[in-house]
Structure formats: structure tokens, C-alpha cells
């Protein structure tokens, strides 16, 4: 009986165990099913994403090429093959070097292109313009491809054709230059005629005729200045501003500029004063261009000053550089406009009555000239308190073998 | 050297100027300035070819010569003036819109006495011409 009881109890226990196992199995089965469904969904999502990425890459107006660190083609779109005129690289093939080689052959400088481009392991991103042998120009951008953990996986390139863009830019410059040159001839005779009349060379005019002649003369001068400034800007942009460099005393050049601007200041009841602690210091520069820079700074300072104000020009030494600072106590420049001050046609906050005085190119030209002379230009300004524009130029140090004349 | 001194010596006194420019208006304005402000006798020419003939017949004391002209331009005209004995010694001042520093040097090297840039200031034109001839 006891034995029967035991076996009955064992059977019951076993049954319970089996049932538990069955339940577990069921849970397990369900979980496997769920997991494989999830996996399947994940796979679908990945495939969709890959398709999406590929069609996005395919639909790009830019030529796209990406390669793995071991030189396998990860992606290359049709646009890449088309714009470079090469066979479309097979995705997955270890064909990185031959792809680049065939692209290099189309470039105007095949060796240079290959050298600059071939380093997949390079960690930097960069962009450059590429000239092609057939005259087209591409803009290229390249960056490393990294895993989310930061491991370097490969490199991607984007190429965009900018031939037309460059052509338009060149045409614009040429057009401006041609127009400006063409304007000079008629302006010469207009200005000459007006000057002869307004200066009384042709005999006395009636008061009203004289007023008209003076108005025409002043506006003609403004036009001449504008044309000159436009041509200067164009020369600076093209890197063709010719300089006549000579070793000159900075103080005497600044004084010369101040003297030439005195009438301009006087007409606005503004006085120019100079303070110098750099007597005899010299710079290797073009004096005419330096005077042009000074005249631009001085005329701005005078324009933005109150009647009866003083504009102070300070010359000082800053290490190996000489600083010229022009300070006015005028209206100043609002902080939000500080970024535009040296840009072209950036006349800001000009009192309406004085708007017509400048061309809006002066500071842009000043920056161009100072930069060409190896210097820097900057300003500080506070609205309502005034502005200080200053430029620094390297002081000229006589060479060891050169004669020292102090 | 002797020829140069002679040229300079004669240049100090201007009685007659030859103005050469293919632009009629610029020529007219420069003529009036030379006559009224400079008190000079003025002859003018509209081309390089014409300038050669007038320079030879009129013997001006100085020639104001436009650089950019069709056919015979300023530089070619200058070269021909120097070839002809009757005009070889006449000082020539170029009138041009192209005034990059290296261009001025190039004009000097070709035998020009100086360069006046366009657009020029007519009221100071005679003084500028005198200054150049004085070697200022």
C-alpha cells in the first residue's frame, strides 16, 4: 500500500513536472516565434532602409562614392560615373584604386588628384575645387565614415559640377570691369567740362548757373570715385592689385593723408588731430595705397562725427607691428552690424543727409589693401559713443647688411 | 645725355602743345584747359597718324598723347615720333586710364616723359604738364 501510495505520488509529481515543461515549452515556442518575427521585421526594415539610402544616393545631383578602409566600393551612384565619364564601379568590388585612377585621368592634374584623394585612412574632412582636363570644374567634399563607436570604416566623396557657377562669376567680374572702364571715357569729358565752368575758367556764371554747375561737379566726382572704387575692389578680388612697395616713414604718410583730408573735415566742421609715439618708424608699403586707406578711415570718422568734433589719429607700437588708430566720438555702430562693416556696400546707419558721400566700398578696399600689405584691420565701436578703426602693419627692420638710417 | 639736356631745357617754356586723343570731347576739354589755363597755343589730332603729320609741321613743345587709340596707338605713335629727326626731341606725356604702377614704368622705359591718368583734373592739367617736364 505504501508502495502504491508512493508510486501514485510520484506519478502526480511527474505529471506536474511535465505540465510545467509543457508550459515552458509553450512560452519558449512563443518567444522564438516572436523573436523570429521581430527579426524578420528588422530585416525588412534594414532592406527598406538600404533601398531608401541607395535610391537617395542614386537620385543625388552630386556624384557620390564611398569606400571601405580595405578598398571595397561601398557605394557609387550613376551620377558619379556620368560626370567623371568612367565605368560605374561595382558595389562590393575591391576596386577603389582603379576607380580613382580612372577618375584621375580625367583631371587636369592626374598625379596631384590621385595623391590628394587616395588616402582613405585620412581622418580629416576637406573640400577642394578640381579642374578637369576638359575645362569643367568640380567642387569636391570628402569625409571619413565612422561607426557609432567611432571606428573608422571608410571614406565618402561628393562631387558637384560648378563650371557654370564659375563662368557666371567670371562674366560678372568682366562685365563690371568693362562697364567701369567704359564709364571712364565719358566721365573724363563731363568732369573736365564741369570743372572748367565751376571753377570760373570760362568766365563768371550767374549764381544759379554756378549752383547747378557745382551740383553737377560734385555728383560727377562721386561717380568717378565709385568707378575707381569698383575697379579697385575688382583688382583686390582678383589678386591683381599692383603695389609699389618702398620703405617709408609711417608717420609722414599718415600726416600727408590728414593734410589731404583737412578740407573734407573742415566742410563738416571736424578737426583731425594726430598723436604719435613712433617717430621715425618705417614700413615697407605703397604710400599711395596707404594714403587711400587713411582717407577712407578719416572720411568715415568725419562723416559719423558731430559738428565741431575732433577725430583723433594715434600711432603706436605693438610688438613688431605699428598701429594706426582713427577714433571718432560719433554715432558708433550697433553690435548686430559689426559683422558686415568690412563687406561691400555696407553703409550702415548713415545720416540721410550724408548718405550720398560714400560709395560703400571704402572699408572693403581698406581691408583689401591692408591685407595685401601683410597687415590686419579691425575696429571697436559702441553705439552713441563712437568708433575706433585701427590697422597694424609690420614695422620695417633694416636688414643686418643694409644701411641703418635712423 | 646732350640731347636729353636740350630736351629738358626747351621743355621749361611751353608755347605750343599738341593734344592727341580719338575722343573728340576729351580733346575739346583738354584744348580749352590748355588755352585758358595754360595760355598755350593748341593744336590737336584725332589719331596717331594725324599726330605724326602735325607734330612734324607744327613742332609743338610738348605732346599729350592718348595711349588707347585704334590703328596707331600711343606707344606706336611715340616710337614713330622718335624715328623722325624733326620730332625725335619733343617730350611726350601719355594720357591713359590704365595706370598700374608697372605700366607707368613700362611707358617711361619706352621714352615717355610722364603719364597723366584719366579721368584727369583739367584745372590742374597745365600745372601737371609743367611739373612733369620740370622733372617733378
- Interchain proximity A188–B37, CB inside 8 Å: no
Q: Read off the CATH number of the domain in which A153 is found.
A: 3.30.450.20
What pLDDT score was predicted for residue A387? 94
pTM: 0.62
The cell for A405 is 638710417
Preceding omega of A272 cis (within 30 degrees of 0): no
Same domain, A317 and A338: yes
> Collapsing DSSP states into helix, strand and coil, what is residue B5?
helix
CA of A184 vs chain B CAs: smallest distance (Å): 6
CA dist., res. A384 & res. A173, Å (int): 38
Angle (CA) A277 A278 A282, round 5°? 170
Boundary of a domain, candidates A161, A195, A227 = A161
Q: How many domains does chain A have?
A: 4
A404 within some domain = no
Task: Find, in chain A, the residue whose alpha carbon is nearest to that of B28.
Answer: A189
Q: How many residues does chain A have?
A: 406
Interface check A196 vs B, CB under 8 A? yes
CA of A298 vs chain B CAs: smallest distance (Å): 23
Same domain, A203 and A256: no
Q: Read off the CATH number of the domain in which A208 is found.
A: 1.10.287
Same domain, A368 and A283: yes
Q: Which of A181, A189, A242 sits opposite B29 (nearest CB)?
A: A189
Q: Which residues of B touch A192 (CB under 8 A)?
A: 26, 29-30, 33, 119-120, 122
Distance from chain centroid for Cα A146: 28
- Interchain proximity B25–A199, CB inside 8 Å: no
Q: Which residues of A touch B120 (CB under 8 A)?
A: 188, 192
Q: Which candidate, A66, A84, A86, places its Cα nearest to that of A76? A: A66
Burial of A136 (0-12, 13-18, 19+ CB in 10 A): middle
What pLDDT score was predicted for residue A357? 64
- Interchain proximity A193–B29, CB inside 8 Å: yes
- Interchain proximity A195–B23, CB inside 8 Å: no
* Below-50 pLDDT ranges, chain B: 1-11
The cell for A59 is 537620385
CA dist., res. A358 & res. A135, Å (int): 40
A405 within some domain = no
CA dist., res. A63 & res. A132, Å (int): 15
Alpha helices, DSSP H only, in A107-249? 110-117, 163-198, 207-237
What DSSP designation does A355 have? G
A400 within some domain = no
A401 within some domain = no
> Helix A287-303 and helix A250-267: axis angle, to 10°?
40
Same domain, A254 and A303: yes
Interface check B22 vs A, CB under 8 A? no
A362 within some domain = yes
What pLDDT score was predicted for residue B13? 84
CA of B96 vs chain A CAs: smallest distance (Å): 10
What pLDDT score was predicted for residue A1? 55
- Interchain proximity A243–B26, CB inside 8 Å: no
**Chain B contacts in chain A segment 240-259 (CB below 8 A):** 242-244
Determine contact, residues A240/A177, Cβ cutoff 8 Å.
Answer: no
Q: How many residues does chain B have?
A: 136
Distance from chain centroid for Cα A386: 28
Boundary of a domain, candidates A174, A208, A237 = A237
Distance from chain centroid for Cα A382: 26
Q: Which residues of B touch A242 (CB under 8 A)?
A: 100-102
Same domain, A179 and A153: no
Domains of chain B: 2-134 (3.40.50.2300)
Same domain, A352 and A315: yes
List average pLDDT for each run of 10 residues in chain A, which is 406 residues long.
Answer: 77 91 92 92 92 86 91 92 91 87 89 75 82 93 90 91 90 79 85 91 90 90 86 84 89 94 92 94 93 94 91 95 95 87 72 59 94 95 92 84 34
What DSSP designation does A338 have? G
Interface check A47 vs B, CB under 8 A? no
What pLDDT score was predicted for residue A351? 53
Which of B119, B122, B127 best probes binding to A when mutated, by most A CB atoms within 10 angstroms? B119
Q: Which residues of A touch B37 (CB under 8 A)?
A: 201
- Interchain proximity B28–A189, CB inside 8 Å: yes
Task: Find, in chain B, the residue whose alpha carbon is nearest to that of A197.
Answer: B123
CA dist., res. B107 & res. B94, Å (int): 8
CA dist., res. A253 & res. B136, Å (int): 19
Interface check A219 vs B, CB under 8 A? no
The shares of helix, strand and coil residues in chain B, as percent rounded to the nearest 5, are 50, 20, 35
CA dist., res. B92 & res. B105, Å (int): 14
Same domain, A157 and A172: no
Same domain, A324 and A386: yes
Q: Which residues of B touch A224 (CB under 8 A)?
A: 119
Same domain, A51 and A78: no
A399 within some domain = no
Same domain, A276 and A349: yes
Q: What residues are paired with A156 via a beta bridge?
A: A66, A143
Q: Read off the CATH number of the domain in which A373 is found.
A: 3.30.565.10
Same domain, A74 and A148: yes
Interface check A200 vs B, CB under 8 A? no
Q: Which residues of B touch A199 (CB under 8 A)?
A: 123
Q: Which candidate, B123, B131, B129, B132, places its Cα nearest to that of B37? A: B123
Boundary of a domain, candidates A110, A142, A161 = A161
Same domain, A98 and A177: no
Task: Find, in chain B, the residue whose alpha carbon is nearest to that of A217.
Answer: B121
**Residue numbers of the domain that contains A172:** 166-237
Distance from chain centroid for Cα A195: 42
CA dist., res. A200 & res. A216, Å (int): 14
| Residue found under cell 557657377 | A165
The cell for B4 is 636729353
CA of A302 vs chain B CAs: smallest distance (Å): 25
CA dihedral sign, ordered A370, A375, A380, A386: negative
Interface check B118 vs A, CB under 8 A? yes
Q: In Å, how far are A197, A247, A341, A351, A364 from A304, measured between CA atoms? A: 32, 33, 14, 8, 17
> Collapsing DSSP states into helix, strand and coil, what is residue A332?
coil
Task: Find, in chain A, the residue whose alpha carbon is nearest to that of B38.
Answer: A201
CA dist., res. B66 & res. A123, Å (int): 60
Q: What residues are paired with B65 via a beta bridge?
A: B20, B94
What pLDDT score was predicted for residue A366? 95
Interface check B70 vs A, CB under 8 A? no
Q: Which residues of B touch A244 (CB under 8 A)?
A: 101
A137 within some domain = yes
Q: What residues are paired with A157 via a beta bridge?
A: A65, A142
Task: Find, in chain B, the residue whose alpha carbon is nearest to that of A200.
Answer: B123
Interface check B100 vs A, CB under 8 A? yes
A367 within some domain = yes
Amino acid at each position: 500500500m505504501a508502495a502504491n501510495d508512493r508510486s501514485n505520488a510520484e506519478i502526480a509529481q511527474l505529471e506536474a513536472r511535465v505540465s510545467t515543461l509543457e508550459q515552458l515549452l509553450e512560452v519558449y515556442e512563443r518567444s522564438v516565434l516572436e523573436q523570429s518575427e521581430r527579426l524578420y521585421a528588422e530585416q525588412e526594415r534594414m532592406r527598406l532602409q538600404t533601398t531608401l539610402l541607395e535610391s537617395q544616393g542614386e537620385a543625388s545631383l552630386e556624384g557620390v562614392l564611398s569606400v571601405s578602409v580595405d578598398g571595397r566600393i561601398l557605394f557609387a551612384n550613376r551620377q558619379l560615373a556620368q560626370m567623371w565619364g568612367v565605368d560605374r564601379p561595382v558595389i562590393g568590388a575591391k576596386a577603389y584604386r582603379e576607380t580613382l585612377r580612372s577618375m584621375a585621368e580625367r583631371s587636369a592634374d592626374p598625379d596631384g588628384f590621385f595623391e590628394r584623394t587616395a588616402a582613405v585612412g585620412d581622418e580629416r574632412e576637406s573640400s577642394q575645387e578640381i579642374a578637369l582636363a576638359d575645362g569643367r570644374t568640380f567642387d569636391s567634399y570628402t569625409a571619413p565614415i565612422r561607426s557609432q563607436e567611432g571606428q573608422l570604416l571608410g571614406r565618402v566623396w561628393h562631387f558637384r559640377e560648378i563650371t557654370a557657377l564659375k563662368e557666371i562669376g567670371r562674366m560678372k567680374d568682366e562685365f563690371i570691369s568693362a562697364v567701369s572702364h567704359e564709364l571712364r571715357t565719358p566721365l573724363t569729358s563731363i568732369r573736365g567740362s564741369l570743372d572748367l565752368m565751376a571753377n570760373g575758367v570760362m568766365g563768371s556764371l550767374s549764381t544759379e548757373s554756378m549752383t547747378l554747375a557745382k551740383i553737377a561737379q560734385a555728383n560727377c566726382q562721386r561717380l568717378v570715385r565709385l568707378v575707381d572704387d569698383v575697379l579697385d575692389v575688382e583688382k583686390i578680388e582678383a589678386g591683381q592689385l599692383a603695389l609699389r612697395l618702398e620703405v617709408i616713414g609711417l608717420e609722414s604718410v599718415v600726416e600727408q593723408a590728414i593734410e589731404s583730408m583737412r578740407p573734407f573735415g573742415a566742410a563738416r566742421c571736424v578737426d583731425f588731430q594726430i598723436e604719435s609715439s613712433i617717430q621715425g618708424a618705417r614700413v615697407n608699403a605703397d604710400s599711395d595705397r596707404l594714403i587711400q586707406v587713411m582717407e577712407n578711415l578719416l572720411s568715415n570718422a568725419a562723416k559719423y562725427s558731430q559738428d565741431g568734433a575732433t577725430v583723433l589719429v594715434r600711432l603706436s607700437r605693438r610688438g613688431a607691428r605699428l598701429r594706426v588708430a582713427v577714433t571718432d566720438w560719433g554715432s558708433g555702430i550697433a553690435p548686430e552690424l559689426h559683422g558686415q562693416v568690412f563687406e561691400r556696400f555696407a553703409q550702415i546707419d548713415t545720416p540721410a543727409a550724408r548718405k550720398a558721400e560714400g560709395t560703400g566700398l571704402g572699408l572693403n578696399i581698406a581691408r583689401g589693401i591692408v591685407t595685401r600689405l601683410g597687415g590686419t584691420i579691425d575696429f571697436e565701436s559702441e553705439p552713441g559713443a563712437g568708433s575706433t578703426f585701427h590697422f597694424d602693419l609690420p614695422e620695417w627692420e633694416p636688414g643686418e647688411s643694409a644701411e641703418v638710417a635712423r | 645725355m646732350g640731347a636729353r639736356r636740350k630736351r629738358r631745357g626747351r621743355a621749361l617754356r611751353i608755347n605750343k602743345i599738341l593734344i592727341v586723343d580719338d575722343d573728340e570731347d576729351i580733346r575739346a576739354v583738354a584744348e580749352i584747359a590748355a588755352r585758358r589755363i595754360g595760355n598755350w597755343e593748341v593744336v590737336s589730332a584725332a589719331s596717331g597718324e594725324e599726330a605724326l603729320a602735325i607734330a612734324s609741321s607744327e613742332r609743338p613743345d610738348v605732346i599729350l598723347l592718348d595711349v588707347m587709340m585704334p590703328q596707331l596707338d600711343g606707344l606706336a605713335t611715340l616710337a614713330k615720333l622718335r624715328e623722325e629727326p624733326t620730332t625725335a626731341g619733343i617730350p611726350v606725356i601719355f594720357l591713359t586710364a590704365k595706370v598700374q604702377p608697372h605700366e607707368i614704368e613700362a611707358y617711361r622705359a619706352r621714352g615717355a616723359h610722364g603719364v597723366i591718368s584719366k579721368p584727369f583734373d583739367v584745372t590742374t592739367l597745365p600745372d601737371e604738364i609743367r611739373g612733369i617736364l620740370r622733372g617733378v
